[in-house]
Chains A and B, each alone.
Chain A
């Protein structure tokens, strides 16, 4: 990922900042500038999402892109946040066999990827099993 793009996305990657439309009361993540439902009638605000949720669905990655190949096998899950939307995230610090649909998870701040040995280190949210 490019450095400028990552930099622009820091608030939502570091702190789970999403968007909330005051018109239709929907929450969006990643954040939106315009409500995809209400369009012009929408009124979008930034909102801090809950850091707890549960596993809605998941997959185990065993063949990964080069920058993640030291981490295999690892879990990527769709997580239903408390009072919030579904978000896609890696579930870290666990054995893959311990991951199950419906299990509670909480957000942690971790390294997401490194641009080689000399490049920028990208940080952001991941989730861990909370039970």
Chain B
């Protein structure tokens, strides 16, 4: 018998619900709220815990990290033999703990990336919003260009982001800077008259 730990989304009532099929529709016995639940075979997997096998013969390959355990596979990053305990399933890759650690530290392991900063959006706001108070653009346009460059130089994000924001920001910021150069070069002879 397999159980699903159900919690009502409306009243919070918890019940252990026996699973008898791949989906169920019913009312919460406590508040009557209808729930639709889809079940998947992962629920039936009794225990996903892996157990490392001991070496039977000394001619068998052993784990790089546990010399007494039998190698189950080779790390796809460094090629070392690893046991079932050391094997880390990264979705598309199977890696040893050391490669995962290195990948996390260097940010090169995509499945471990958990954060991304939208410098392109920051640049866009800095380039467009201050146009309402045009004099602010003297300061914000160079900042917008800085964030455009920063966006361009950082790793591609995990998710697909169009280039619309960074392009728009860049065009606006460059035009603002050109505008300021024209205005200032026209003003400077007046100010500099006393030099």
Real complex partners, A and B? no
Interface residues of B (CB under 8 A from A): none
